[in-house]
């Protein structure tokens, strides 16, 4: 008979430190521990025999007038420290360093106004001690159900800690509940590493054995959790405190036994139990050999193929009856042909699922053996945080069903990708990678996570991208999204923004007319601010102003298109990126109120460069100077006759009289004032 002893069984660092600390105080006289130093009756009894007394509660502490008080490994409230000092007692702190760390966290975060949430048994002394270090009222949760029912204001900042001996997987489930609720929460994983390793090892051993023994004090929280974990994996799990509690008769028919112990269990007790089991099981070995030859439910047997039919395989399993493997128990694929897969004379390993199928034959399963082996592979991958590959065999309402060999893994829709995907049917038949984040085959709960791999891959790609790019580099990418103000370009790790103002040297009215999703783009990195990348298509060697001094020298006649207009003039695009001003006074020789009265947007015009200031990127044009000059003869003829009638009429008369007479005549007799004008025109 084989006995598997957990390597992590027994005293952890914190417990050993606390027990050793108390034993060092023995002999001083008046030595007390505030509460049992650890939850193990054997250790506590031994210390009492050596004169160490236990103080329970504040009232009992006040009665002590002299001596040494040792703080237990679970820790105590802050006020207990204050009371010991106020009574001038010697204080020896044996609090586990991992627990002490939690005290500091809740003290600091609660003083900053954060809501403290403690995951653990609210009646456990460790949790009661943590509560006593909070400066505000904390919330204590013991289960996923309590976490689901908890409602906290969304803008409240939360801090979550855990009892050091709390169940690791249960803690992760509670954390996931808080994350799904979207709370602003800081999570401190304060479960002791030794506790986590002890729980994982206990589960692993329990899955391999026929019976499991858990050793520890009845009041030990971490031992109780070891028992619960082992019980889930192995129905024949026994909780004992010492060798006296062990009933060896219960183990007569088992092949493998596992042993683990809580953090407060002395090594001596573990050795006694282990030694007794090994000795007594040696005498049971011969009896167990006969048991091995029997056909029993769940046993793995090997047989030789006697016959292969369309829907079943018949095996010789060296038993009074033959073994039968139906097509359904050979594979999950109903399209296969058994005759193509199996040959007569071949040896097959299968699991007994019925000792009598009704016809006196033993019903066997090949796929369940494969599934168990696959589950072992999944468990190993889970424990080692490995990446697995599997084929998506079903698309369900809530996610994907993935097959790894003959084992099934469920990937919830929220863990398929790092973005929401409404339609998961595209994954059907695909081989995908993922990690196992929850493994409980007994409850048929094997959960995969593909999202974390995508996030890790993107994070690595982003870090690699920012490590190699610099301002001024030319990069290539694909258009991911186009908006009214610009386009987002996927650079392979991060997105860069190509603003509308950087898409061309010229004016761009609508980015969606230029770019489409998936289009490949080569762009210049204009700026990098943290994780923000600004891109540009304005490459310096294509800057139109580089040759503007020749193209648009003063006196050159140029052509352009009216791009926009204002009341004072029109802006003419000579080429993309080069606009010139055509002032309203330079459009025509006659007076024009607004450019829009003679010009229109998009109209092509010809003009002369009258000013060019390259340093300011300003060019002025004139259409007027290209127009022919109009003759002024008509204006001269009209002006000369107007002077002739005045000269003879006023000749020889005083100037004053000449001035007065026309005014009076014009005012009183308008017809006379008009006659000279008409006569002048005729002459």
pLDDT tens figures, 350-376: 999 887 765 667 899 988 888 888 888
pLDDT tens figures, 476-490: 999 999 999 999 999
User: Residue 599 domain-assigned?
Assistant: yes
User: Residue 281 domain-assigned?
Assistant: no
Say yes or no to pLDDT of 589 above 50: yes
| Residues 441 and 410: beta-carbon distance below 8 Å | no
Do 534 and 548 fall within a single domain?
Answer: no
pLDDT tens figures, 290-312: 444 457 788 888 889 989 988 89
Do 116 and 175 fall within a single domain?
Answer: yes
Taking the C-alpha atoms of residue 141 and residue 116, their distance in angstroms, rounded to an integer, is 11
**pLDDT category of residue 279 using cuts at 50, 70 and 90:** low
Do 605 and 646 fall within a single domain?
Answer: no
Q: What is the CATH number of the domain that holds 533?
A: 2.40.50.140
Buried b / exposed e over 254-278, threshold 16 CB at 10 Å, is: bbbbbbbbbbbbbeebbebbbeebe
Q: Which residues pair with 449 in a beta bridge?
A: 435
What average pLDDT does this structure show over 204-232? 87
3-state secondary structure of 451: helix
Which of 343, 365, 387 represents a domain boundary (last residue)?
365
Please give the pLDDT value at position 674: 39
- What percentage of the chain exceeds 90 in pLDDT? 33
Which of 162, 191, 220 represents a domain boundary (last residue)?
191
Please give the pLDDT value at position 405: 78
Taking the C-alpha atoms of residue 243 and residue 269, their distance in angstroms, rounded to an integer, is 7
User: Residue 8 domain-assigned?
Assistant: no
Taking the C-alpha atoms of residue 614 and residue 606, their distance in angstroms, rounded to an integer, is 21
Please give the pLDDT value at position 644: 43
Taking the C-alpha atoms of residue 195 and residue 404, their distance in angstroms, rounded to an integer, is 31
User: Residue 251 domain-assigned?
Assistant: no
* 280 or 193, greater pLDDT: 193
Angle (nearest 5°) at CA 50 between 44 and 52: 60
| Residues 97 and 14: beta-carbon distance below 8 Å | yes
What average pLDDT does this structure show over 632-648? 45
User: Residue 83 domain-assigned?
Assistant: no
Say yes or no to pLDDT of 634 above 80: no
**pLDDT category of residue 640 using cuts at 50, 70 and 90:** very low
Say yes or no to pLDDT of 523 above 90: yes
Taking the C-alpha atoms of residue 187 and residue 73, their distance in angstroms, rounded to an integer, is 24
Please give the pLDDT value at position 498: 93
Say yes or no to pLDDT of 672 above 70: no
Helix extents (H) in 342-435: 367-384
Q: How is residue 608 written in tokens? A: 């002369």
Do 104 and 179 fall within a single domain?
Answer: yes
Do 114 and 157 fall within a single domain?
Answer: yes
Q: What is the CATH number of the domain that holds 182?
A: 3.40.1010.20
Please give the pLDDT value at position 643: 45
Domain that holds residue 643: 636-682
**pLDDT category of residue 547 using cuts at 50, 70 and 90:** confident
**pLDDT category of residue 411 using cuts at 50, 70 and 90:** very high
For the ranges 14-18, 395-399, 676-680, the lowest mean pLDDT is seen at 676-680
What average pLDDT does this structure show over 169-194? 86
Taking the C-alpha atoms of residue 160 and residue 118, their distance in angstroms, rounded to an integer, is 6
| Terminal alpha carbon distance of the chain | 147
User: Residue 435 domain-assigned?
Assistant: yes
Say yes or no to pLDDT of 219 above 70: yes
Do 449 and 473 fall within a single domain?
Answer: no
DSSP letter, residue 628: P
Among candidate residues 48, 14, 12, the one with its CA nearest the CA of residue 33: 48
pLDDT tens figures, 103-149: 999 999 999 999 999 999 988 889 999 999 999 999 999 999 999 99
Catalytic residue positions, numbered: 126
How many domains, in total, are found in the chain?
A: 6
Do 616 and 643 fall within a single domain?
Answer: no
Please give the pLDDT value at position 294: 59
User: Residue 518 domain-assigned?
Assistant: yes
**pLDDT category of residue 253 using cuts at 50, 70 and 90:** low
Please give the pLDDT value at position 292: 43
User: Residue 286 domain-assigned?
Assistant: no
Please give the pLDDT value at position 276: 65
Q: Which residues pair with 497 in a beta bridge?
A: 488, 534
pLDDT tens figures, 46-101: 888 888 888 888 888 888 888 899 998 889 999 999 999 998 889 999 888 889 99
Do 531 and 548 fall within a single domain?
Answer: no
Do 361 and 405 fall within a single domain?
Answer: no
Q: Give CA separation, 262 vs 12, 142, 277, 654, in Å.
A: 9, 20, 18, 137
* 402 or 319, greater pLDDT: 402
Do 339 and 390 fall within a single domain?
Answer: no
Which of 365, 389, 407 represents a domain boundary (last residue)?
365
Do 527 and 548 fall within a single domain?
Answer: no
Highest mean pLDDT among 24-28, 404-408, 611-615, 631-635: 611-615
What average pLDDT does this structure show over 432-441? 89
Among candidate residues 296, 346, 305, the one with its CA nearest the CA of residue 323: 305
Please give the pLDDT value at position 632: 57
CB atoms near residue 638 (< 10 Å)? 11
For the ranges 3-7, 220-224, 295-299, 666-670, the lowest mean pLDDT is seen at 666-670
């Amino acid at each position: 008979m084989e006995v598997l002893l957990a390597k992590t069984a027994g005293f952890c660092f914190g417990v050993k430190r606390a027990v050793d600390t108390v034993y060092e105080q023995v002999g001083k006289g008046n030595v007390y521990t505030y509460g049992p130093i650890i939850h193990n009756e054997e250790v506590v009894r031994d210390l009492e025999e050596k004169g160490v007394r236990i103080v329970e509660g504040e009232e009992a502490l006040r009665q002590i007038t002299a001596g040494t008080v040792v703080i237990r490994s679970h820790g105590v409230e802050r006020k207990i420290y204050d009371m010991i000092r106020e009574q001038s007692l010697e204080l020896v702190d044996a609090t586990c360093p991992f627990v002490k760390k939690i005290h500091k966290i809740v003290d600091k975060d609660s003083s900053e106004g954060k809501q403290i949430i403690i995951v653990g048994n609210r009646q456990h002394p460790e949790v009661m001690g943590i509560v006593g270090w909070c400066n505000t009222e904390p919330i204590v949760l013991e289960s996923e159900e309590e976490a689901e029912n908890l409602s906290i204001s969304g803008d409240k900042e939360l801090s979550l800690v855990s009892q050091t001996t709390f169940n690791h997987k249960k803690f992760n489930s509670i954390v996931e509940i808080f994350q799904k609720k979207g709370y602003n929460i800081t999570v401190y994983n304060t479960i002791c590493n030794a506790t986590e390793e002890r729980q994982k090892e206990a589960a692993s051993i329990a899955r391999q054995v026929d019976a499991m023994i858990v050793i520890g004090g009845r009041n030990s929280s971490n031992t109780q959790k070891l028992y619960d974990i082992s019980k889930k994996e192995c129905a024949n799990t026994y909780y004992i405190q010492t060798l006296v509690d062990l009933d060896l008769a219960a183990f007569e028919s088992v092949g493998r036994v596992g042993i683990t112990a809580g953090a407060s269990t002395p090594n001596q007790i573990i050795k006694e139990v282990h030694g007794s089991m090994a000795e007594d099981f040696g005498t049971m070995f011969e009896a167990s050999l006969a048991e091995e030859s029997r056909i029993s439910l769940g046993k793995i047997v090997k047989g030789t193929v006697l016959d292969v039919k369309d829907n079943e395989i018949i095996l010789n399993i060296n038993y009074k009856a033959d073994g039968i493997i139906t097509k359904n128990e050979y594979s999950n694929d109903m399209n296969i042909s058994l005759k193509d897969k199996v040959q007569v004379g071949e040896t097959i390993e299968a699991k007994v699922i019925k000792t009598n199928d009704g016809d006196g034959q033993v019903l066997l399963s090949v796929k369940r053996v494969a599934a168990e082996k696959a589950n072992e592979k999944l468990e190993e991958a889970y424990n080692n945080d490995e990446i697995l590959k599997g084929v998506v065999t079903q698309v369900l309402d809530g996610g994907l069903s993935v097959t790894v060999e003959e084992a099934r893994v469920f990937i919830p829709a929220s863990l398929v990708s790092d973005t929401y995907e409404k339609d998961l049917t595209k994954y059907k038949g695909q081989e995908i990678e993922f990690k196992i984040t929850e493994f409980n085959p007994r409850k048929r709960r094997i959960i995969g996570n593909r999202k974390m791999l995508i996030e890790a891959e993107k994070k690595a790609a982003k870090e690699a991208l920012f490590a190699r790019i610099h301002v001024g580099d030319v990069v290539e990418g694909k258009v991911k999204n186009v908006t009214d103000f610009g386009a987002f370009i996927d650079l392979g790790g991060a997105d860069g923004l190509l603003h509308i103002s950087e898409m061309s040297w010229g004016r761009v009215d609508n980015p969606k007319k230029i770019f489409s999703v998936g289009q490949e783009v080569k762009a210049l990195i204009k700026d990098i601010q943290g994780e923000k990348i600004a891109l540009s298509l304005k490459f310096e060697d294509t800057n139109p102003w580089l040759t503007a001094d020749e193209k648009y020298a003063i006196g050159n006649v140029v052509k352009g298109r009216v791009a926009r207009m204002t009341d004072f003039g029109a802006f003419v695009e000579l080429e993309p990126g080069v606009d010139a001003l055509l002032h309203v006074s330079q459009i025509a020789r006659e007076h024009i109120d607004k450019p829009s009265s003679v010009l229109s947007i998009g109209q092509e015009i010809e003009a002369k460069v009258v000013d060019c200031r390259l340093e300011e990127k300003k060019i002025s044009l004139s259409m007027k100077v290209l127009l022919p000059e109009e003759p002024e003869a008509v204006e001269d003829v009209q002006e000369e006759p107007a002077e002739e009638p005045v000269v003879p009429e006023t000749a020889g008369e005083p100037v004053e009289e000449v001035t007065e007479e026309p005014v009076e005549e014009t005012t009183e007799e308008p017809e006379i004032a008009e006659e000279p004008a008409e006569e002048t025109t005729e002459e």
